[in-house]
Amino acid sequence: MAFVGTYLNFALQTEEAFNFYRSIFNPQSEMYMMKFSETPMAEGLPAVERNGVMHAGLEIMGGHKIFGTDMLESMSHQVKIGNNTTLSLNFDTREEADSVYTKLSVGSTEGVAPHEESWGYWGVCLDRFGIRWMFDVQETPTI
């Protein structure tokens, strides 16, 4: 089932932030958390980044889900106002994701067209108004 969530980026604070949000919004809820150390990416990362969070997910209230990741300095990522929050559009089909991406990316200043990744079909764009949108089709939902 398609839904909209909010994606949050942190500087190696995702686990701490999500534990905090869980304690406030939904202490009984299940929380999904995958660390970089659980992926093949870990081999190429500095030790300090290996325990970072690749993807976290938590339902906070009213069915709204938040997701998060640690941005990595070794990959030239830097958390700043403008890239720390993204609207995550989670589609049922690739065709829906492609259609909305095509429309939202007109005049965008940066973007990655939806394509196959290890976790599913994914893309992102910063629209002409400076709003970041993520496009995701997951064959196996994480939360």
**Integer angstrom CA distances of residue 38 from 41, 42, 101:** 8, 7, 30
Higher-scoring residue by pLDDT: 61, 7: 7
CA–CA separation, 126 and 79 (whole Å): 15
Which tokens go with 51?
């325990």
Tell me the helix, strand and coil percentages in the chain, rounded to 5. Answer: 25, 40, 35
Q: Is the pLDDT of residue 142 over 80?
A: no
Diameter of the chain measured on Cα atoms: 43
CA–CA separation, 114 and 49 (whole Å): 26
pLDDT (tens digit, 9 = 90+) per residue, 3-54? 999 999 999 999 999 999 999 998 998 999 999 999 998 999 999 999 999 9
pLDDT (tens digit, 9 = 90+) per residue, 71-112? 999 988 888 877 889 999 999 999 999 999 999 999 998 899
pTM of the model: 0.80
Confidence at 141, pLDDT banded by 50, 70, 90 = low
Segment 65-69 mean pLDDT? 95
Contacts by 121-130, CB closer than 8 A, 24 or more apart: 121/94, 121/97, 123/97, 124/86, 125/101, 130/82
Return all residues near 43 (Cβ < 8 A) that are at least 6 apart. Answer: none
- CATH annotation of 3-137: 3.10.180.10
Domain borders along the chain are: 3-137
